Structures are given as C-alpha cells and as structure tokens.
C-alpha cells in the first residue's frame, strides 16, 4: 500500500504542536518504519522542508507570487482572511491552510478524488524542477495547479512549505538524524557521519532500509556530491586565536572572495559554491587550471577564488559575484573579471577520505597534488608579533584579514567551530536577512529601498527584526533587489511589503541598542548594508544569540547606562 501524503502532513501537524524533542523523535522514527524503500528518502527530505536530497542541484524555482496566482485560479482565495491568518500564525503554510479550509466549508465540496501519495508528490516535484527553457513557466504552473487541486488544505499547507522552503515545524535536521538512528537502531554518531559523507539524511535512511547496517557502515564520500563546508568563528585578535589553539596557529591570508569546493574524477571537473550549488559553467578558467595541474584520478579540494585588478589588488566582492552568477557570454567576463584560485584544503584523494588527518598534513598532501596552483599564503607561528605583522601585510595587500587554523585539527564538515578563526580588522558586521521592505520616496519612488533586517532565531526557526536601513546599496542593486523582493512578497501593508526571508545582507552598524520597538528588544544603530551575500542562505545568517552576545560585550569597554 502506498503511503499517502496526507499521513505525512498529519504527522507534521502533530509535530508542529509538540514542543518535546523526544516525542518528535519518537513519532518521526515510528513513521519512518512504515515507509517503503522508495518512499523513505523523499519523505525524510520533505519532512525537513526539502523537495529533493540536500546535495541535489535540482530546484523548484517557484515563487510565492506564482503559488498565489494558482490558488486564486483554483479556489476563492480570500486575501483579507489570509492576512488575518498570517498575522495570527506568522506562517504562510498555516495561513494558506486556513483560507482553503474556509473556502472548502463554503463550497461544501465532496472529496471523491484519489488521495495523493508520497511517490506521486515526488514525481510531480521532479517534473516541476525539470521544466526548463522556453514554455517552462506554463508547464510548471500546469503541474502545480494539478497538484494543488488534488491537495486537501492540510496537504496544501505542507506543499506550500516545501515550495517556499519554510518548513518551521521544529523537526530540524538534527532531530531527523536522531529519528533515523532510532528507527533503524543504529548509533547517532554513525548516522551523522553517513549523512555528512553522503550529503543527505534521506539517503542514509534509504541505505539503512535497503542494505541494513552493513551497507551503511561502508558509506563514503562520493565525488561530485558536495560536502558541507567547514566554517569559522570570529576572533578579535591574533592573540585570542593563539590562545584558543593552544599557543600555535597556521595563519593564512583571508581573501575576500568566494569559496569553492572542487571535485575531479578522471577527466571531469565540477565546482561548487559556498551554498553547494554547481557553478562549473561560470568558471571555465578554474576548470582548465584543475585539469592542467591536478593529475589525481579522484580528488576533492577547497579554495577561495578572487579577482585581482591590473595592479594586483583584489576587486570588490560584489563585482566578483557577477562572475558566479553569469552563465552566458563567459568569455567576455573572463577578460573583464579574471579569476585567481588559492587552494587551502583537501578532503579526499583517490578513494580515501582525508578529513580526520591533521590540517598541516592535509596541506602537505594538497601541495603535492595541485601542480602550479597556488596555496593560500600561510605562516605557522607561536609568536604574536609575527602574526600581527602578517595581519598587517594581508591588509596592506588589500585582503580582509587572517584565518587562523589549529594545526592538528581535522576537517569538520558543516561545523562552525573554533578550530578555524577569522580575524578581520574592519567594523563589526552581521549577516542578516531581509524580512520586509518599504517603498522609497522621491527618486526612489517605485523601488523597495528601505529594508527590515532580522537575525535568525534557531529556537523558532524564524527571524527577529533588529532594524531598518535604506543605506548602502547602489541604484542598480536596489532595482534588482526590488524585483527579487516582489517575487517573494507575502503581503503588502500600505508602503510595507512583507517577504519570505531569503536574501542575506552583510550589515555594518555603530552600536547595538536596547529597544522596545522590536520583538528582539534590540536595535542596530546606524545600520548600513555593506554587501549582498548571495553566497549565504538564510540558515547561515547570524543568530539572535550572537547579536545578544555582541550587545553584552559592548559594555566591557564602556559604561553601561542603566535606565532602570
């Protein structure tokens, strides 16, 4: 018997109201046990809000405005009611369900249709992702219309969440890993490791279902499936980094560029961006450099791509990003924005994972396998003054600062730890998400030019606003952002448009203040956008805890004004 999409939606309804982690894990584990080999990967992914496995390059590419057009076509979509439901729940999926339920009640429809199954939903999602090129809009809309007209309100709620990537039930990736471990009675650490090397928890569940724990133990990296990146925390000074690393660090230039993970097997090369999307087509000279310099049969390496001007100084990040977005007329861009690659790490070589080896050993293996491709400029030292000199040198050369890496540390995919510390000398910045925007006045009329900025709240999976700014972006950027924000607009309230939080921006500010104005109780003073971080997803935005920490830290060097 095929498992219905309704059963999955109803499980998520239960989970959404459960606050207890253990209950969520147990209910999910029990559900996973009822699924067939074919259903388990799609269900696991859909439950955490993904249409496809995490490593997959497929995208649905369906905006909220397209979805609403479809709802208006297939039902009487009462916008006033939607706005009220949105205000009450703060969740597009729940608001959609409320509207559809109301419509259904009015129409008193009898549902005689066959129920949607998980397999059918996945097949339709696949077809939607595959619709590309001319006529794809119409084709996508036709597929979504058929899917949504078959869906009951509760199913529509979760389909909307999958389409918009806003699942927010509390069943996050970490709990799903625990549920998989429990369902198949295997240790959590092994599940986490397998999810890391396979690049997807759904695939781990499928492997356990089809091959039991034996096949699962053998799971290893697969070339051309991107591995989650190891990330860095911030240090205030080289001294702090040295202390953290037990007295000695490998200091490297922190290039202000774009991170790439490069996979090669035989004659084929693929390049992945920081968000793990494939960007091979935009970077032909990088692909050529790898082919010419790396003889290894199979290899996964990482590095930073920057572009230097004719005087040898790095160009601004926003211009570099144009190369990453560009898919047509690459040759013109190759001349205008030539790229330089600096490699810094190796994860895999000829069938073997290297991630548990100490960093300095990996660096040596890297150096031996990459021909003339330069490695990141590095010194290994226990001397504060030497490291400070190196920092100055990096800044003078136009780079962002230094990275300090613990010499004996393994590569830990997906972790933001203290083994890698970034030391920047510029102002404090936060990576925040735009949650709403307002139309400007005068010259900026018709443009969404005033942005509400929010930090991530891991507890609720939502975002908490911290301020608003109209400063920092160029006219061209404002025009582009306006277009993108309109695509993901949820509702308009006078001048203000509320959007699905998607765009990450780096924000500089002078101070964090206490403020009753926002739910976060904090506000940024003199916020200005320093760049659009299209290389970051909203899940990578700074958290409200980090903002709170910085807020508290401000008072260490300053008197704290006590208003109470």
Q: Among residues 552, 465, 561, 462, which one has the least CA distance to residue 517?
A: 465
Among candidate residues 54, 161, 209, 254, the one labeled active-site is 254
**DSSP 8-class letter at 530:** E
Tell me which stretch binds ligand AMP (CB under 6 A): 72-80, 124-132, 248-256, 330-338: 248-256
CB closer to ligand AMP out of 344 and 470: 344
The nearer residue to ligand AMP, 344 or 452, going by C-beta atoms, is 344
Q: Which of 153/199 has CB closer to ligand AMP?
A: 199
How does 370-389 read in b/e, with b if 16+ C-beta sit within 10 Å?
Answer: beebeebbbbebeeeeebbe
Q: At its nearest, how many Å lie between ligand AMP and the CB of residue 438?
A: 28
Q: What is the DSSP string of 289-331?
A: HHHHH---SEEEEEEEEE-B-TTSPBPPHHHHHHHHH--SSHH
DSSP code at position 48: T
The one segment of 103-111, 160-168, 247-255, 362-370 that binds ligand AMP by CB under 6 A: 247-255
Q: Binding of ligand AMP at residue 252 (CB under 6 A)?
A: yes
Is residue 82 at the binding interface for ligand AMP, with CB under 6 A as the rule?
Answer: no
- Please state the closest distance from residue 422 (CB atom) to ligand AMP, in A: 5
Nearest-approach distance from CB 378 to ligand AMP, in angstroms = 8
221 vs 390, beta carbon nearer ligand AMP: 390
Site for ligand AMP in 290-319 (CB under 6 A): 304
Q: Give the nearest distance from C-beta 257 to ligand AMP in angstroms.
A: 6
Residue 476: Cβ-neighbour burial (10 angstroms; 0-12, 13-18, 19+): exposed
CB 484 within 8 A of CB 500: no
- Residue closer to ligand AMP by CB (options 143, 232) is 232
Q: Does 259 bind ligand AMP (CB under 6 A)?
A: yes
Spatial distance between the Cα atoms of 41 and 46, rounded to a whole number of angstroms = 9
What is the sign of the dihedral through the CA atoms of 33, 37, 38 and 40?
A: positive
Residues pairing with 271 in the sheet: 262
Cα dihedral 473, 479, 484, 485 sign: positive
Cβ(368)–Cβ(361) below 8 Å: no
Which residue, 258 or 522, has its beta carbon nearer to ligand AMP?
258
| Least spacing, CB of residue 255 vs ligand AMP, in Å | 4
Window 392 to 421, contacts with ligand AMP (CB under 6 A): 403
Chain CA centroid to CA 405, Å: 23
Closest distance to ligand AMP from the beta carbon of 303 (Å): 8
Site map (CB under 6 A) of ligand AMP, residues 416-455, x = contact: ------x---------------------------------
Contact with ligand AMP (CB under 6 A) among 52, 255, 324, 463: 255
Tokens, residue 277: 């999307």
Q: Does 248 bind ligand AMP (CB under 6 A)?
A: no
Which region, judged by CB under 6 A, interacts with ligand AMP, from 61-69, 133-141, 180-188, 251-259? Answer: 251-259
| Least Cβ distance, residue 357 to ligand AMP (angstroms) | 17
- CA-derived radius of gyration, the chain: 25
* Neighbour-count burial of 115, counting CB atoms closer than 10 A to its CB (0-12 exposed, 13-18 middle, 19+ buried): middle
DSSP state for residue 115 in the 8-state scheme:
P
* CA 376-379-381 angle, 5° bins: 150
- The CA dihedral of 24, 26, 29, 31, to the nearest 10 degrees, is -80
Residue with the closest Cβ to ligand AMP? 259
Site stretch for ligand AMP (CB under 6 A), options 29-37, 254-262, 356-364, 436-444: 254-262
Question: CA 326, CA 314: separation in Å to the nearest integer?
Answer: 19
Whose Cβ is closer to ligand AMP: residue 82's or residue 344's? 344
CB of 262 to ligand AMP, least distance (A): 13
Smallest gap, in angstroms, from Cβ of residue 250 to ligand AMP? 9
Strands (DSSP E) contained in 164-297 are 231-234, 249-254, 258-265, 268-272
C-beta neighbour count of 93 within 10 angstroms:
25
Q: Does 344 bind ligand AMP (CB under 6 A)?
A: yes
Candidates 376, 449, 469, 530; binder of ligand AMP (CB under 6 A) is: 376
Site for ligand AMP in 180-239 (CB under 6 A): 231-232
Integer Cα distance of 140 and 132 in angstroms: 9
Q: Give the interface segment with ligand AMP, choosing from 3-11, 182-190, 195-203, 250-258 (CB under 6 A).
A: 250-258
Give 186 or 232: the residue with its C-beta nearer to ligand AMP.
Answer: 232
**Is 254 among the residues that bind ligand AMP (CB under 6 A)?**
yes
The reply on whether position 273 binds ligand AMP by CB under 6 A is no
Q: Please count the CA atoms within 13 angstroms of the CA of 441 that sit on its side-chain side.
A: 0
Helix-strand-coil split of the chain, %, nearest 5? 45, 25, 35
* Smallest distance, ligand AMP to C-beta of residue 540, A: 8
Interface size with ligand AMP, residues (CB under 6 A): 12
Which residue's CB is nearer to ligand AMP, number 82 or number 317? 317
Neighbours of 189 (CB within 10 A): 10
Closest alpha carbon to 31 in 1, 3, 54: 3
- The residues in 479-538 that bind ligand AMP, with binding defined as CB under 6 A, are none
Residue 252 vs 438, nearer CB to ligand AMP: 252
CA atoms within 13 A on the CB side of 384: 9
Measured from the CB atom, is 273 or 488 closer to ligand AMP? 273
| Smallest distance, ligand AMP to C-beta of residue 362, A | 12
Question: Active site includes 264?
Answer: no
Does residue 390 interact with ligand AMP by CB under 6 A?
no
| Phi/psi of residue 57, nearest 5 degrees | -90, 0
**Cα dihedral 316/321/327/333 (nearest 10):** 10
Question: Which positions are catalytic?
Answer: 254
Per CB under 6 A, residues contacting ligand AMP are 231-232, 252-255, 259, 304, 344, 376, 403, 422
């Amino acid at each position: 018997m095929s498992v219905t999409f309704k059963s999955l939606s109803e499980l998520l309804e239960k989970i959404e109201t459960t606050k207890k982690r253990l209950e969520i894990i147990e209910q999910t584990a029990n559900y996973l046990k009822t699924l067939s080999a074919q259903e388990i990967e799609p269900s696991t992914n859909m439950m955490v809000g993904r249409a496809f496995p995490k490593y997959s390059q497929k995208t649905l590419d369906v905006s909220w405005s397209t979805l609403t057009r479809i709802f208006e076509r297939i039902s009487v979509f009462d916008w006033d009611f939607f706005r009220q439901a949105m205000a009450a729940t703060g969740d597009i999926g729940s608001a959609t369900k409320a509207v559809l339920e109301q419509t259904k009640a009015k129409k008193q429809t009898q549902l005689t249709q066959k129920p949607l199954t998980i397999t059918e939903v996945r097949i339709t999602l696949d077809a939607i992702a595959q619709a590309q090129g001319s006529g794809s809009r119409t084709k996508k809309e036709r597929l979504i219309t058929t899917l949504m007209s078959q869906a009951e309100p509760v199913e529509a709620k979760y389909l909307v969440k999958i389409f918009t990537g806003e699942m927010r039930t509390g069943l996050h990736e970490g709990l799903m890993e625990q549920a998989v471990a429990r369902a198949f009675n295997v240790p959590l650490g092994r599940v986490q490791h397998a999810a890391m090397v396979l690049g997807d928890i759904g695939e781990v569940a499928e492997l356990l279902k089809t091959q039991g724990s034996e096949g699962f133990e053998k799971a290893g990296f697969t070339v051309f499936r991107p591995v989650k990146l190891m990330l860095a925390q911030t240090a205030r000074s080289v001294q702090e980094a040295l202390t953290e690393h037990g007295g000695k660090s490998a200091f490297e230039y922190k290039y202000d560029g774009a991170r790439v993970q490069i996979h090669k097997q035989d004659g084929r090369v693929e390049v992945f961006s920081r968000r793990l999307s494939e960007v091979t087509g935009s970077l032909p000279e990088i692909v050529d450099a790898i082919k010419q310099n790396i003889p290894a049969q199979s290899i996964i390496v990482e590095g930073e791509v920057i572009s230097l001007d004719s005087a040898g100084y790095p160009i601004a990040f926003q211009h570099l990003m144009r190369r990453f977005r560009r898919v047509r007329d690459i040759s013109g861009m190759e001349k205008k924005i030539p790229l330089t690659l600096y490699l810094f790490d190796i994860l895999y070589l000829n069938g073997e994972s290297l991630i548990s080896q100490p960093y300095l050993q990996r660096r040596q293996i890297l150096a031996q396998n990459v021909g003339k491709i330069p490695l990141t400029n590095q010194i290994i030292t226990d001397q504060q003054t030497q490291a400070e000199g190196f920092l100055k040198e990096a800044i003078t050369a136009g780079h962002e600062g230094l990275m300090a890496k613990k010499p004996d540390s393994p590569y830990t995919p997906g972790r933001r730890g203290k083994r890698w510390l970034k030391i920047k000398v510029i102002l404090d910045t936060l990576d925040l998400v735009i949650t709403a925007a307002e139309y400007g006045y005068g010259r900026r009329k018709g443009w969404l030019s005033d942005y509400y900025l929010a930090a991530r709240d891991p507890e609720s999976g939502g975002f908490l606003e911290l301020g608003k700014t109209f400063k920092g972006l160029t006219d061209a950027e404002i025009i582009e952002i306006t277009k993108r924000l309109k695509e993901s607009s949820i509702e308009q309230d006078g001048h203000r448009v509320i959007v699905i939080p998607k765009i990450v921006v780096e924000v500089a500010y002078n101070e964090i203040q206490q403020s009753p104005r926002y739910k976060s109780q904090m506000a940024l003073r003199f916020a200005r956008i320093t760049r659009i971080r299209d290389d970051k997803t909203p899940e990578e935005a700074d958290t409200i805890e980090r903002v709170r920490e910085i807020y508290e830290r401000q008072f260490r060097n300053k008197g704290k004004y006590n208003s109470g």
